[in-house]
């Protein structure tokens, strides 16, 4: 049963679609692209998060997070690992910045650990945390690399979870706003690109619906998998509080800091593109619903001031509502949209409702089933992760969907990449020959370029996930997404994969 639940997490949790038009790029087009192909000012970078990279979990006053507790709980991480040391970027950031510089990257997206600034989530400021991020930001700028800062990448201070259940309590809106404003005050003179949240859909569903991410809450099959939670209501409460927290912070930034600091503020969403399983009306409608319950859940309130009608109709009273003042605060509260896109699935109508009977949660509410295969054929070549398939034309379809539905907002691809397995039988020499990754990035970038130049999509940046192999949440160290290979057996040494040279050539040719 646990394996079935893992499959559901990786296969059904992410959902979406539109009217299903597809674009194909020829091999010749893929090989010809370079930095010069993209518009002037287009930003290229790599992305990371504090919990996956920093390590130093108990150093310099850092407080514990929900992921510290979760990863140290038996059976929560597939290889029984944790991120106490991760890839030690807390101590090695100068070395890693030089790797970015050598590659030719323009920018680095990283997150600030809330519990390094406020060890208890609120109260007294930890100066050692302020000093660390000042040093990191200054080191980036000294090498000509622009910082893109994420304020929340899932590592909630454990103290707030224990104090009032974290994102389930509206008190978190005030505490997050104080934390965010502190960051604006301490770093905003140099940081001009802020991302309030990374993938609220992911941590709402994974953390409070199926319970496979921190804090591990759910009510699936009478709490067999989680000790507490309500999968039918909690994901929506969390999502609602996140939207209000984002809007509150955006309002603070615009009123108190934007005119002096001249920065921009956005939010990053996880979006799988979806194609209808068939041309039937039922599957096309289910595909749209799947999208509504993924991207629309958060983008509709931010652009239109309310949740998608399909969510309101299907979730009913379990879905929180915005007051007029809240809707006014939320609508338009972003300067850019961050999109974390990796893959494409098929979507079909859930005619049997077996999932609904088993789960009674937000996944079932969409009335859609999402799968990576049709008629026994996979949608594309698979990476290591069971949910990640190469469908490069999906990124072009997604950019067009956002353009047409949401009025062509400024978009930054804040994550895109693929993983190889961490196979102990593969030598480092062989692991560095990552031709599959080169194929992935080149084909996705080609389709992204087509969406910009041929379709007029307003995309201004691309961040590869990730600079180096790292700790991948519930997958632990079993998955390698990096452009640099990290030798976990030899002092975390970094080795450039073939994809590093590909990016160097891409930037200079």
3-state helix, strand, coil in the chain (%, to 5): 45, 15, 40
Is residue 132 within 8 Å of residue 94, measured between CB atoms? no
- Nearest CA to 392 among 339, 462, 452, 341? 341
Q: What is the three-class DSSP state of 308?
A: coil
Is residue 147 within 8 Å of residue 105, measured between CB atoms? no
Q: Cα–chain-centroid distance for residue 184?
A: 22
Q: Is 489 exposed, middle or buried (0-12, 13-18, 19+ CB in 10 A)?
A: exposed
Active-site position among 234, 393, 415, 472: 415
CA distance 216 to 179: 24
Active-site position among 161, 199, 275, 472: 199
Is residue 176 within 8 Å of residue 160, measured between CB atoms? no
Q: Distances in Å between the alpha carbon of 432 and those of 266, 427, 428, 444, 509?
A: 35, 9, 6, 21, 22
The DSSP 8-state label assigned to residue 366 in this structure reads: T
Q: φ, ψ for residue 466 (rounded to 5)?
A: -150, 170
Please confirm, yes or no, whether 199 is among the known catalytic residues: yes
Please confirm, yes or no, whether 415 is among the known catalytic residues: yes
Q: Cα–chain-centroid distance for residue 344?
A: 15
Q: What angle do CA 293, 402, 261 make, to 5 degrees?
A: 105
Is residue 275 within 8 Å of residue 22, measured between CB atoms? yes
Q: Cα–chain-centroid distance for residue 478?
A: 19
- Structure tokens given for 338: 């961050």
Number of Cβ within a 10 Å radius of residue 467: 30
- Structure tokens given for 356: 């609904």
Residue 429's contacts (CB-CB under 8 Å, 6 or more residues apart) are none
Q: φ, ψ for residue 82 (rounded to 5)?
A: -145, 175
Q: What is the three-class DSSP state of 484?
A: strand
Strands (E), 92-155: 107-111, 146-152
Number of Cβ within a 10 Å radius of residue 147: 22
Rg, Å, the chain Cα set: 21
Which residues belong to the active site? 199, 415
């Amino acid at each position: 049963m646990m394996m079935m639940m893992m499959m559901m997490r990786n296969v059904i949790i992410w959902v979406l679609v539109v009217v299903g038009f597809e674009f194909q790029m020829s091999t010749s087009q893929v090989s010809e692209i370079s930095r010069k192909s993209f518009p002037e000012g287009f930003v290229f970078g790599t992305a990371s998060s504090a919990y996956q990279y920093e390590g130093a979990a108990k150093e310099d006053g850092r407080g514990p997070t929900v992921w510290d507790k979760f990863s140290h709980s038996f059976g929560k991480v597939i290889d029984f690992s944790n991120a106490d040391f991760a890839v030690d970027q807390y101590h090695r950031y100068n070395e890693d910045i030089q790797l970015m510089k050598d590659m030719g990257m323009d920018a680095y997206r990283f997150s600030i650990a809330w519990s390094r600034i406020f060890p208890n989530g609120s109260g007294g400021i930890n100066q050692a945390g302020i000093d660390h991020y000042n040093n990191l930001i200054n080191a980036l700028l000294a090498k000509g690399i622009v910082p893109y800062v994420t304020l929340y990448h899932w590592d909630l201070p454990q103290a707030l979870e224990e104090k009032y259940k974290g994102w389930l309590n509206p008190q978190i809106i005030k505490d997050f706003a104080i934390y965010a404003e502190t960051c604006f005050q301490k770093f905003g003179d140099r940081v001009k690109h802020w991302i309030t949240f990374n993938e609220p859909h992911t941590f709402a569903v994974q953390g409070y619906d199926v319970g496979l991410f921190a804090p591990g809450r759910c009510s699936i099959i009478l709490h067999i998998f989680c000790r507490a939670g309500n999968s039918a209501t909690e994901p929506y409460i969390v999502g609602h509080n996140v939207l209000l927290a984002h809007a509150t912070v955006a309002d603070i930034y615009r009123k108190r800091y934007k005119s002096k600091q001249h920065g921009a503020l956005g939010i990053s969403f996880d979006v799988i593109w979806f194609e209808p399983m068939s041309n039937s009306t039922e599957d096309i409608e289910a595909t749209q619903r799947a999208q509504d319950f993924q991207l629309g859940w958060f983008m509709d309130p931010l652009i239109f001031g309310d949740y998608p009608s399909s969510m309101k109709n299907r979730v009913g009273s379990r879905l929180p509502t915005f007051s007029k003042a809240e809707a006014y605060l939320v609508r338009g509260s972003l300067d850019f949209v961050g999109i974390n896109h990796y893959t494409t699935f098929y979507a079909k109508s859930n005619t049997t409702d077996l999932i609904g009977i088993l789960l009674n949660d937000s996944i079932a509410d969409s009335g859609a089933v999402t799968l990576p295969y049709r008629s026994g054929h996979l949608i594309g070549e698979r990476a290591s992760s069971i949910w990640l398939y190469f469908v490069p034309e999906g990124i072009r379809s997604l950019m067009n969907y956002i353009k047409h539905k949401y009025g062509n907002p400024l978009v930054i691809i804040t994550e895109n990449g693929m993983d190889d397995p961490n196979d102990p039988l593969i030598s480092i020499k062989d692991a560095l020959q990552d031709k599959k990754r080169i194929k992935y990035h080149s084909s996705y970038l080609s389709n992204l370029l087509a969406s910009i130049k041929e379709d007029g999509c307003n995309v201004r940046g691309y961040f590869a996930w990730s600079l180096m192999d790292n700790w991948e949440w519930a997958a632990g160290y079993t998955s390698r997404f990096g452009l640099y290979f990290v030798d976990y057996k030899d002092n975390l040494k970094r080795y450039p994969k073939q994809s590093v040279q590909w990016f160097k050539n891409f930037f200079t040719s």
